[in-house]
Structure 1
Amino acid sequence: MSGLFITATDTEVGKTVVAGGLTAALRRQGFDVGVYKPLQSGHLTEDPNGDAARLLRLSGVDDTLREICPFSFTEPLAPRLAMERAGLSVSTSDLLDHYRHLQSKHQHVLVEGAGGVAVPYTRDGLVVDFAKELNLPVVVVARPDLGTVNLTTLSVEYARTRGLNVIGVVVNGYGKSLPVSVAEENNPRMISEIAQIPVLGIIPWLGNQPREAEVIATVERSIDLERIKTYLAS
């Protein structure tokens, strides 16, 4: 299995920007990359405002929305709770089956999780449990502001203790509030130092609804694609 698992320190941090933008950037460099959002809560799969639809628009893949996101729930809750309240039950093996389908269509697949690594995910596991089954290198998306060093370090260390190969952090939304604070200016360096992990990129704040072309171009400029490609090639 070749690809990446995109997680975050929390919800609404920018996993979709990173997953969709990276998929598009790699495809533009000739890599056959698909994208997978196994579980989505807060929007149904076909909702144009949901993450799955945004991933499809960003990535440019010719897969269907249902291939990208097979399970979705209307309430914006942790996926396990959302599925319980919807009267549904989805297991880790269900998600792996759909992943293998996408894997049969693409050489590489980027997988976007939900919230952070300890989020209740399927009926039988957390996000970290699913990521471990995939055995993909992990990228953690972090917010840039005060408190992120603690959250990011805890997320990275928890993932490592559960056996995940965390290859780097992407800081997203830098400069939302201007002027940039002293904490925000120094947080990427401190994350790298304290969590002992490379910061693969710093993505500036792009607004609440950035155009797909702007997201892709910014990801291409802001993330170390050469390092990412080494993991896809290994």
Structure 2
Amino acid sequence: MNGLFVTATDTEVGKTLVTGGLAGFLREKGVDAGVYKPVQSGHHANDMDGDAWRLKVLSGVLDDASDICPYAVSEPLAPALALQRAGREVAMADLLTHFTSLARQHEFMLVEGAGGLAVPYASDCMVIHVAQAMQMPLLIVARPTLGTVNHTVLTIEYARQHDLQVAGVILSGYQSSQNERVKENINMIETYGNVRVWGALPYLGEKPSREAVLQAFDQYINASFIHSIIRKRGMEQWN
């Protein structure tokens, strides 16, 4: 499948902003990018404060939020536990079936996981198993702060141990006072993780507008590289 699986080093790192923002940027460039979040806990799919709705708004897709996220439950727990407590029997095959249906409608897919790769996701899988089944390279979203090199390199190595390709890393949410530290972290992640860092997004506020997010991608992320890969060279050339 032509696309990227977006994961992170932890929860609340900025996966939704990055996934929706990158999809929106690509759509502005003429790529029919779709977004998919298999499981959402903490909000129902059509809740305007939830990730599925934010993905819809940021990306600009016309798909219903319930198609973007087919399994959404209100309790803010690990997805597998939240589904179980809600009395919903969901297995990895269910997540993949919905993905295949949605992916047929788009040229390129961005799939947002939940938390990190080892998060319990459905009754028979963790996030990493779904990423493996979808056979898409990973985009890792990481914090800009102290400790991020350790967390990011561990995530990269865990992914590679499971034969997943890491396409790149984006740092998300830095303050202006952290500019020098962010540059140092980027250099160390690239050195010790042997991976390309596509850029770092500054903190954009609690609920930034689509316009603000797309402007930030244009200014701070090497999104033109991503676009050129998709359009010209093929997915095998991420590295």
Please tell me the TM-score bracket, short chain as reference.
over 0.9
List runs of 5+ in structure 1 lacking aligned partners.
Answer: none
Return the match for 2:198 from 165, 185, 200: 200
* Alignment match, 2:166: 166
Task: After TM superposition, give the deviation of residue 76 of structure 1 in Å.
Answer: 1.0
The answer on whether the counterparts of 1:44 and 1:50 sit within 8 Å (CA) in structure 2 is: yes
Q: RMSD over aligned Cα, in angstroms? A: 1.3
> For the residues of structure 1 that align with 2:183 and 2:25, how far apart are their CA atoms?
26
Task: After TM superposition, give the deviation of residue 109 of structure 1 in Å.
Answer: 1.0
Task: After TM superposition, give the deviation of residue 180 of structure 1 in Å.
Answer: 2.1
Task: After TM superposition, give the deviation of residue 10 of structure 1 in Å.
Answer: 0.3
Opposite residue 69 of structure 2, the aligned amino acid is C
Give runs of aligned pairs for residues 1-234 of structure 1, distance below 5 A: 1-175=1-175, 179-180=177-178, 183-233=181-231, 234=234
Deviations 1:71-108 (A, max 9, x none): 01111111011111111121111011111111111111
Task: After TM superposition, give the deviation of residue 216 of structure 1 in Å.
Answer: 1.3
Structure 1 runs (4+) deviating above 6 angstroms are none
Task: After TM superposition, give the deviation of residue 187 of structure 1 in Å.
Answer: 1.0
Task: After TM superposition, give the deviation of residue 140 of structure 1 in Å.
Answer: 0.1
- TM-score, length of structure 1 as denominator length: 0.95
> For the residues of structure 1 that align with 2:109 and 2:178, how far apart are their CA atoms?
35
Deviations 1:130-162 (A, max 9, x none): 000000111000000001000000011101101
Work out the number of aligned pairs and report it.
232
The answer on whether the counterparts of 1:91 and 1:123 sit within 8 Å (CA) in structure 2 is: yes
> For the residues of structure 2 that align with 1:159 and 1:231, how far apart are their CA atoms?
21
* Alignment match, 2:237: none
The answer on whether the counterparts of 1:169 and 1:197 sit within 8 Å (CA) in structure 2 is: yes
Opposite residue 191 of structure 1, the aligned amino acid is I
**How many percent of aligned residue pairs carry the same amino acid?**
47
